Amino acid sequence: MNETIHWADIIAEDVLERGNKHTVASGITPSGAIHIGNMREVVTADAAYRALKEKSADVRLIYIADTLDPLRKVYPFLSDDYEAHVGKPLSDIPCPCGNHKNYAEHFLLPFIESLHTLGIKPDVYRADELYRQGKYLDAIKKALLNRDAIANILSEVSGRELAPDWSPFNPICSKCGRLTTTKVTGFDIEKETIDYACDCGSNSTVPMNGGGKLTWRVDWPARWPIFGTTVEPFGKDHATAGGSYDTGIRISREVYNYEPPHPIVYEWIMLKGKGAMHSSTGLAISIGDMLEIVPPEVLRYLILRQRPEKHIEFDPGMALLNLIDEYDQVEGDKRAYKLSQTEASKPTDVPFRHMVTAVQIADGRDFDYLLTILKRTDYDTSDVEAIRQRADNARNWLLKYAPPVVKFKVQDTLPVQVTSFSGGQKQALSILADDIEHGMSGQEIHENIYNVAEKVGITGKQVFEAVYQSLLGIKSGPRAGYFLEALEKDFVVKRFKEASR
């Protein structure tokens, strides 16, 4: 895997043949919480952007929020009041919490914040502002004047029959506020206005700038020349034969005289055992939720180590520990590792599975105590913020996704299970208590356990069980070497002595 060229570099090489000036675009309709499945698009775009930048291209990364898209239905997370807003642009609908400018911003702002955490800083554009500012004006005029040519392309490529009164423009009704119930009845290129009739009974005229939007299949290619887009990732739903990329190619070339961007078609991210994460299915973990358990650079790595056209199965259980450790040890795809780094990411030398053990030992005590535990086990604790971040990730993971087998609690008092210890187990604990008292490290204890077992005539497994039961009240626990080293020495000695009586 390390020998092959990373896909982001292949794309960069490819588009550089087109010239040195580039725009990598991505975007979304902010109709609900933006989840990790959507994030694949932006991380993919960012990787292409970084690869181009490294090759000295004059490149920028943009993100277009389709804030003028209508609310399609009352989603399960919305109150019934939203029934009145179905069909209106997202930027004209009140936000669900009351603290944002509008519905679109409610979902967009936390997403942009997550992007910054992920080291992605695109220029963000909002469709409602772009239209109001007149950025689409020429594109709207061309679309209206070339209505028949566009209708032909759409029916030829997508195979769907368009109604005789079909228009590439969807006016926003000035009476009821909807853009899903209007029909264009005329336009004036000079005055830059559009006439419409609405199902609500309104017949009126709106300005081309801000009075509505181009329909998606035209809006997409229309924005390519506006931003000079040369690279754009999009989900496979847009990439089907006769889909919006196919029609976009022809509209772009034939109506807007622009060579379409290099497509990067990406597959979905599946949640293990649950299926594809998609806004419409409601099966999603928000990016904010993900960042509570996964360090940002590792989330990038999850996406970048896989080619875009392969699906990713995200397993927030035990597999997450392996993913984080693979990242920390730079064992996997080295180029993906490099492309995953963020300015803010501060790798620690504490393996995540040790952090998971350490935070459980420190349970209920302050952060300084956690640092003490890490120092006991010889980890570098100089970067306090990095440790704090990983410790938070570990705690949240334990709370939400960790399987029961990794969870434990160090018992404050001698667990009752010790009453069932055999004579051999008691003897073994007594020997271990002496060894620790005389300076043997946790690691040495671990390596010595089979010798002790042999000496007292029981199995190694029985010694391990006695160790865990006397400390945790259960028969298994974290790897004994690290675990014993992380605990306070006097505490362990005292506990083993008590248990051996």
Among 10, 74, 86, 95, binds Zn ion (CB under 5 A): 95
Strand partners, 214: 169
- What is the DSSP secondary-structure string of 433-464? HHHHHTT--HHHHHHHHHHHHHHHTS-HHHHH
Among 5, 17, 56, 97, binds Zn ion (CB under 5 A): 97
Given a contact cutoff of 8 angstroms between Cβ atoms, the answer to whether 263 and 253 are in contact is: no
Looking at residue 46, its amino acid is D
Binding of residue 173 to Zn ion (CB under 5 A)? yes
Q: Kindly state the smallest distance separating residue 180's Cβ from Zn ion, in Å.
A: 10
Of 79 and 99, which CB lies nearer to Zn ion in the complex structure? 99
Find the part of the chain contacting Zn ion (CB under 5 A) among 89-97, 294-302, 425-433, 442-450: 89-97
Quote helix, strand, coil % in the chain, to nearest 5. 50, 15, 35
93 — phi, psi (to 5°)?
A: -105, 140
Q: Kindly state the smallest distance separating residue 200's Cβ from Zn ion, in Å.
A: 3
Binding of residue 249 to Zn ion (CB under 5 A)? no
Q: Kindly state the smallest distance separating residue 93's Cβ from Zn ion, in Å.
A: 11
333 — phi, psi (to 5°)?
A: -80, 110
Binding of residue 202 to Zn ion (CB under 5 A)? yes
- Applying CB under 5 A, the site for Zn ion has a residue count of 11
Q: Which of residues 327-346 bind Zn ion (CB under 5 A)?
A: none
Of 175 and 479, which CB lies nearer to Zn ion in the complex structure? 175
For 400, residues 6+ apart whose C-beta sits below 8 A from its C-beta are 292, 293, 316
Binding of residue 200 to Zn ion (CB under 5 A)? yes
356: helix, strand or coil: helix
Q: Kindly state the smallest distance separating residue 89's Cβ from Zn ion, in Å.
A: 13
Interface mask (CB under 5 A) for Zn ion, residues 37-56, using x and -? Answer: --------------------
Angle formed by the axes of helices 137-145 and 147-158, to 10°? 80
Of 35 and 178, which CB lies nearer to Zn ion in the complex structure? 178
Q: Kindly state the smallest distance separating residue 488's Cβ from Zn ion, in Å.
A: 47
Of 206 and 355, which CB lies nearer to Zn ion in the complex structure? 206
Angle formed by the axes of helices 352-361 and 384-400, to 10°? 80
Q: Kindly state the smallest distance separating residue 173's Cβ from Zn ion, in Å.
A: 3
Q: Residue 468 to residues 240, 322, 413, 455: CA-CA distances in angstroms?
A: 56, 24, 13, 20
For 479, residues 6+ apart whose C-beta sits below 8 A from its C-beta are 357, 446
Sign for the pseudo-dihedral over CA of 387, 364, 293, 119:
negative
Binding of residue 183 to Zn ion (CB under 5 A)? no
In this structure, what token pair is assigned to residue 212?
């509505």
Among 53, 55, 60, 100, binds Zn ion (CB under 5 A): 100
Binding of residue 109 to Zn ion (CB under 5 A)? no
Q: Kindly state the smallest distance separating residue 170's Cβ from Zn ion, in Å.
A: 12
Q: Kindly state the smallest distance separating residue 239's Cβ from Zn ion, in Å.
A: 33
Hunting for tokens 């209920």 — which residue is that? 364
Binding of residue 198 to Zn ion (CB under 5 A)? yes
Find the part of the chain contacting Zn ion (CB under 5 A) among 23-31, 196-204, 209-217, 482-490: 196-204
Please state the length of the chain. Answer: 501
Find the part of the chain contacting Zn ion (CB under 5 A) among 106-114, 227-235, 298-306, 481-489: 106-114
Of 182 and 306, which CB lies nearer to Zn ion in the complex structure? 182
Q: Kindly state the smallest distance separating residue 124's Cβ from Zn ion, in Å.
A: 17
H helices of 23-73, in order, are: 36-54
Of 45 and 93, which CB lies nearer to Zn ion in the complex structure? 93
159-168: Cβ within 8 A, 24+ apart: 159/242, 167/215, 168/143, 168/144, 168/214, 168/215, 168/218
Of 179 and 373, which CB lies nearer to Zn ion in the complex structure? 179
Q: Kindly state the smallest distance separating residue 197's Cβ from Zn ion, in Å.
A: 9
Find the part of the chain contacting Zn ion (CB under 5 A) among 198-206, 210-218, 300-308, 468-476: 198-206
For 247, residues 6+ apart whose C-beta sits below 8 A from its C-beta are 153, 154, 157, 158, 217, 221
Find the part of the chain contacting Zn ion (CB under 5 A) among 175-183, 330-338, 401-409, 491-499: 175-183
Find the part of the chain contacting Zn ion (CB under 5 A) among 167-175, 224-232, 288-296, 466-474: 167-175
Strand partners, 124: 63
Q: Kindly state the smallest distance separating residue 400's Cβ from Zn ion, in Å.
A: 24
Among 174, 130, 146, 100, which residue's Cα sits nearest to residue 27? 130
Of 33 and 47, which CB lies nearer to Zn ion in the complex structure? 33
Q: Kindly state the smallest distance separating residue 103's Cβ from Zn ion, in Å.
A: 8
Binding of residue 112 to Zn ion (CB under 5 A)? no
The binding site for Zn ion (CB under 5 A) comprises 95, 97, 99-100, 106, 173, 175-176, 198, 200, 202
